[in-house]
Amino acid sequence: MTEKSAQKDIFCREEIIGSSTLAKVGTARIVLSMDAVAKHHMLVMPIRHVERIDELTDEEHRDIVKALRSIEEFYKAHNIEGYKLVLLSGPAAGQTVQHAHWHVIPGNAEFVTDPKRRSVHYSGEELAWEADVLRRDFRSR
Ligand SMILES: [Zn+2]
């Protein structure tokens, strides 16, 4: 993949991903999922374009873990007891956006790879509104 085409994925387009971003933790970003299997289904990813986890720097690894801790705190504050962490690596595994990301799914909701089959769908406007509300919770920590 060339540098130019790498810039086209939605996770590299700030004008698209910016409104659903809940927090940036160093080199990592936390995003509210547009097609979710449960309320507060989030995505964690490096801000830099990285397709597979073996391309992550040590700093990016650390920041991904810090971002996960921050989501854990958010879930605890919202009385969410547990969560699932799902990584789809490569199209054969069902990865649809070729920019490494982890799905963080509250509770015991079943994960579905096909975004169209997920139960919670936000319009762009709804997503921005919900993200704006949740962003304040991340900032207050
Ligand atoms: Zn990207």
Hey, what amino acid is at 139?
R
Q: What is the pLDDT of residues 42-69, one digit of tens each?
A: 999 999 999 999 999 999 999 999 999 9
Give how many domains the chain has, as a whole number.
1
What pLDDT does 138 receive? 83
The pTM is what? 0.90
CATH of the domain at 55: 3.30.428.10
Distance in Å, CA 14 to ligand 1 centroid:
10
Distance in Å, CA 15 to ligand 1 centroid:
13
Distance in Å, CA 46 to ligand 1 centroid:
9
Instruction: Supply the range of the domain harboring residue 44.
Output: 3-139
CB contact set of 33 (below 8 Å; sequence gap of 6+): 41, 42, 43, 103, 118
Closest CA to 118 of 38, 10, 44, 14: 38
Q: Tokens in use for 9? A: 């994925």
